[in-house]
Amino acid sequence: MPTLDWLDRQAAFQVAAHTTTHVLRPHAAGHVFGDAAAARDNLLIQGDNLQALKALLPFYRGRVKCIFIDPPYNTNSAFEHYADNLEHSQWLSMMLPRLQVLRELLREDGSIWVTIDDNEGHYLKVLMDEVFGRLNFVANVVWQKKSSPQSNSTWLSDSHDHVLCFARNKLQFAPSMLPRSEKQNAIYRHSDEHDGLDAHGQRYGRGPWFPGDFTLSLASGQRGKQFAKTGESNNLYPILTPSGREVWPAKGRAWAYTRDSFQRLLEDNRVTFGRTGDNKPCIKRFLSEIEGGGVVPMTTWHYSEVGENRIAMQENKQIFGDSPFATPKPEALLQRIIHIASNPGDLILDSFLGSGTTAAVAHKLGRNWIGVEMGDHAITHCVPRLKKVIDGEQGGISAAVNWQGGGGFQLLQLGAPLFDEQGDIHPDVRFTDLAAFVWMRETGTALSADAASGPMPLLGVHEGTAYYLLFNGILGDKRPASGNVLTSAVLDALNTLCGHAGPKVVYGEACRLGDARLKAECIVFKQLPHAVPR
């Protein structure tokens, strides 16, 4: 597969792995906003987004259904709230490690959506091919971000952005249909609501329909192969209209159904010959029988459907007054992405949160969310906006989704690294922090919410092996060389509290059991901190 090459490419591929994992702590500016119980599911994090993503991995790896990011476009501009003037190779080196970690956070049936313009869009596509796999590319959506031309444009007036969509595993990604509009339903102008019985003794009652083409190209499918060999096809035969006229498909076409299938459709009242009964047959396409009841999303999104930059600025000014965010996205754009890519209760992530649009829309749509923003506007813009959402603000999509307010969120910041420069566990690290990290490194999965809430030395059982952590006095004994050390008494306590008959891995400060006892108990002991895979 073709790949991009740029200055420091090889180093960029190692950045994510070498980025220190930090802990997440309540923010000094406040912690819980709104309903405390609901706030557990929604996180606003201020801090470097790569470090924040690494901090999220132990708890959320493989759990995010939809990621949306609106990264700097690298357009040699200087926006008020962040620098957008990185050199091309620096921009690629900035994006690569973040995409790598974002991929790890996605569920197998999840997807990532990235807005970008032509300046870096095509390079980003190739970069994402490499990170997510070219076969997992879903679509390049063209979003009309401006509804009128710019008279001061030097060449052509730029009116669109790209929204690149990749799946974690395309075979498991199942996008939702969009709701049907009145205009789309208007073509179903005929109706079978009259009383009558079909061939199965059932009343018609299928409702509105429109007449679909009853033919297909003769060159397509099995009918084409048969015709090429013999000059005949099961889909070439005369049909007698109710008026008595014999009709054939047009030249180069064949009926879409065999003679037997046509007869069954006719008996089931699924064929029409027009009002006079003299037209060629058409198949009735019933509105009531559209799978999923919606419309398959297309890759061109008009501003009248999902908003444009001008509308986004109006929404932002309504919320922030004279201090709007420089480059917001309209709420309707995020509404469409989140609708297509997730269901209520799913987890949405935006690691370039900006003014908080993704979190606001996810909240209104009944999704859980995580937003990461490095700048001061995490406090000056995101917090006030999301507090207004909780209070029931009526901007953006609120009226369309009947938003009345409610819910809550936590405000967090990056705390200490898990390990200091000497490789020792940082004094600020708690049991849950280390437990989630150990579990992820051992199993490649996120620690369950129950295990993370503790306190219990058994982290869980993965593929038949139980994992235990003796740290920070989890057994209630915080004396040195006591509850954090695997002794006979501690082992007895483990077996009593949370025993496991199969293989066990136990992390602790030290082990006082001999090799024979460890073997008899099927225990592999790993000493903290240096045995923890980094």
Cα–Cα distance, 324 to 79 (Å, whole number):
12
List all residues 6 or more positions away from 167 whose beta carbon is below 8 Å from its beta carbon: 109, 110, 111, 132, 136, 138, 173
Name the pairing type of β-strands 42-46 and 368-373: parallel
Give kind and range of the element (H or E) at residue 215: strand 215-217
Report how far residue 257's alpha carbon sits from residue 391's, in angstroms, rounded to the nearest whole number. 57
- Per the DSSP assignment, residues forming a β-bridge with 486 are 511
Tokens of 428: 């600020």
Mean pLDDT on 423-450: 90
Distance of alpha carbon 99 from alpha carbon 101, whole angstroms: 6
Write down the pLDDT at residue 44: 97
Confidence of residue 32 (pLDDT cuts 50, 70, 90): very high
Task: Tell me the whole-structure pTM to 2 decimals.
Answer: 0.84
Q: Quick check: 418 and 341 in contact, CB under 8 A?
A: no
What is the model's pLDDT at position 79? 43
Residue with tokens 């005949």: 232
Closest by alpha carbon to 505, among 470, 453, 481, 480?
470
Peptide bond into 529 cis (omega under 30): yes
Using CA atoms, how far apart are residues 85 and 165, in angstroms rounded to an integer?
Answer: 24
- β-partners of residue 283 are 212, 271
The residue that leads in pLDDT, 328 or 506, is 506
* For residues 513-530, average pLDDT: 94
Give dist(CA 62, CA 46) in Å, integer.
22
Stretch among 33-37, 179-183, 200-204, 414-418 having the lowest mean pLDDT: 200-204
Mean pLDDT of 417-439: 91
pLDDT at 478: 53
Residue 51 scores a pLDDT above 70: yes
Q: Which residue, among 337, 354, 335, 306, has the nearest Cα to 66 in the 3D structure?
A: 337
d(CA 17, CA 345): 31
How open is the CA angle 455-457-459, to the nearest 5 degrees?
95
Alpha carbons 204 and 269: distance in angstroms, whole number: 8
CA distance 245 to 273: 11
Q: What is the pLDDT of residues 470-505, one digit of tens each?
A: 987 776 665 545 578 999 989 998 998 889 999 999
Neighbours of 457 (CB within 10 A): 24
Which domains, and CATH codes, for the chain? 9-178+296-417 (3.40.50.150), 182-293 (no CATH), 431-527 (no CATH)
pLDDT of 325 higher than 80? no
Alpha-carbon gap, residue 502 to 489, rounded angstroms:
20
Give the mean model confidence (pLDDT) for residues 450-463. 80
CA distance 93 to 388: 36
Please give the residue that has the higher pLDDT: either 324 or 527. 527
438 has a pLDDT exceeding 70: yes
Q: What are the tens digits of pLDDT across the range 210-269? A: 899 999 887 765 555 555 555 567 788 999 999 999 999 988 888 988 899 999 998 888
Number of H-type helices and E-type strands within the chain: 18, 27
Residue 89 has which token pair?
């190779």
Give the per-residue pLDDT at 137: 97
C-alpha distances in angstroms, 191 versus 60, 195, 203, 272, 279? 50, 11, 13, 12, 18
pLDDT confidence of 323, banded at 50, 70, 90? low
- Residues with Cβ within 8 Å of 116's Cβ and at least 6 positions away in sequence, in order, are 71, 73, 124, 161, 162, 163, 164
User: Which tokens sit at 131?
Assistant: 């990170």
Calculate the average pLDDT of the chain: 88
pLDDT computed for residue 221 by the predictor:
59
Q: Tell me, what DSSP letter sits at residue 134?
A: G
Report cis status (omega within 30 of 0) of the bond before 427. Answer: no
* Range scoring the smallest mean pLDDT among 246-250, 321-325, 370-374: 321-325
Residue type for 180, please?
R
Q: Please give the average per-residue pLDDT across 282-303, as a whole number.
A: 86
Share of the chain above pLDDT 70, in %: 89
The whole-number pLDDT of residue 395 equals 93
Could you tell me the pLDDT band of residue 153, with boundaries at 50, 70 and 90? confident
Q: Determine which of 14-28, 37-51, 170-184, 501-515 has the lowest per-residue pLDDT on average.
A: 170-184
pLDDT of residue 210: 87
In whole angstroms, give the CA distance from residue 434 to residue 415.
13
Q: What is the pLDDT of residues 68-111, one digit of tens each?
A: 999 987 655 544 445 555 678 888 999 999 999 999 999 999 99
Q: What is the pLDDT of residue 300?
A: 96
Other C-beta atoms closer than 10 Å to the C-beta of 210 total 17
Q: Which value, to the nearest 10 degrees, does the dihedral of the CA atoms of residues 356, 359, 362, 367 take?
A: 180
Rounded-to-integer distance, Cα 330 and Cα 144, Å: 12
| Per-residue pLDDT, 460 | 92
Band the pLDDT of 455: cuts 50, 70, 90: low
pLDDT for residue 136 = 98
- State the pairing for strand pair 408-417/42-46: parallel
Which tokens hold the place of 127? 């970069």
Among residues 124, 151, 153, which one has the least CA distance to residue 137? 124
What φ, ψ does residue 5 adopt, rounded to 5°?
-130, 135
pLDDT of residue 78: 40
